Amino acid sequence: MIYEMLGDSEVLKDFFILERGEGYLTISEDMPDKVNRFKMAVSTSGMFGRKPVRLSGFDSWKKEEKTQIEKLLPLFQDEIDVFLDGKVSPKVKSEKSIFDLPKPWEEEKWNDHIITISERAGMKISRAAAESLFRKVGRREYRILRELEKLSVFSNEIDQLMVERLIDFDKEVEVESLAFDFLNHKEDFLSSSRKCMIPFAYFASVLLNIIIDLGTIIDTKKGKMNISWSEIRKLSNTTSIGTARIARLVGYSFSSTKEQRNDLTRLYSAESLKGLIVLLQEIDESIKNGKIDSEIAFFKLHEESLKLQVTLG
């Protein structure tokens, strides 16, 4: 049988294949001589059992390679299961399945996705636990699966308390959250920085990237207030900044967004952002010269940014 697997959820594609046989051979887009590898895989399938073949990233293969494979598929479709990542010619008889990831801003759908992954892996997770897991590890599918597998060692029924006790925050998710806490003048910024124990240099690099994106949006947005989703998409096309990042910076809230968001383009000006960049550079130099350590750097950033805020009004 020939299966077309569309969409970008690699974890669900893996489960789809594994539910139809134990293990599979993969021929990926970066391998040389892919057509001959496929011929070899099919011709030897009888010797080592009818192992399915996955043609990974098939949509990205060269046109001539795809054409050759499509000519071969009808010859073997009754002998072996072939799973293609992408579309195949309409002339080839196939079964089509779609495995879409939620959009980055669709938090509730991500919670649903986590529940689906747990079910496919033979576990049961509560919605509250799924929400906690998403908050801690973000949108990385395989990281989500690995954490679920770790939790299943203790129980196949996963609750929120298990997630809170046994799963650590993903550092990338945590540091970005901390950077937005700083930009939003959250009162618990300093206490959060101490709890997460993130090196200041790492935090500063993430914060700097957000500041640069914010400056780009301020310059492009040109003072316009309350922009719509269609305008966010246009901004994304113009600036090459992701729509989810822009939405967060301009305070756009989706129906599934639980956090209260501020429009940071109203809180900051181009001048104040330049001041923050200079401040980050000065603190970085102080750390390198041994004048302050990473923990003190967070306090200095907080204190000096408040002074900067007063000075620039």
pLDDT tens, residue by residue, 247-300: 889 988 765 556 678 899 989 999 999 999 999 999 999 999 989 998 899 999
Among 66, 98, 130, the domain-final residue is: 98
Confidence of residue 312 (pLDDT cuts 50, 70, 90): low
* CATH at 298: 1.20.272.10
Is there a single domain that holds both residue 118 and residue 94?
Answer: no
Is there a single domain that holds both residue 49 and residue 13?
Answer: yes
Is there a single domain that holds both residue 83 and residue 148?
Answer: no
Is there a single domain that holds both residue 57 and residue 38?
Answer: yes
Is there a single domain that holds both residue 239 and residue 299?
Answer: yes
Is there a single domain that holds both residue 210 and residue 82?
Answer: no
Is there a single domain that holds both residue 155 and residue 280?
Answer: no
Is there a single domain that holds both residue 157 and residue 187?
Answer: no
Is there a single domain that holds both residue 154 and residue 183?
Answer: no
* CATH at 133: 1.10.8.60
Among 128, 149, 168, the domain-final residue is: 168
Burial class (CB in 10 A: 0-12, 13-18, 19+), 151: buried
Domain span including residue 183: 172-312
Among 168, 186, 206, the domain-final residue is: 168
Is there a single domain that holds both residue 55 and residue 182?
Answer: no
* Both tokens assigned to 124: 């049961």
Q: What is the pLDDT of residues 23-64, one digit of tens each?
A: 788 999 999 999 999 988 887 765 556 788 999 999 999 999
> Among 66-75, 149-158, 189-198, 298-307, whose mean pLDDT is lowest?
189-198
Alpha helix segments (H runs only) across the chain: 10-18, 34-43, 63-76, 107-120, 127-137, 141-152, 160-166, 171-183, 189-196, 200-221, 229-239, 243-250, 264-267, 270-288, 294-312
Is there a single domain that holds both residue 259 and residue 127?
Answer: no
d(CA 79, CA 105): 43
Burial class (CB in 10 A: 0-12, 13-18, 19+), 226: exposed
Is there a single domain that holds both residue 153 and residue 42?
Answer: no
In the chain, the number of structural domains is: 3
> Is the pTM above the cut of 0.75?
no
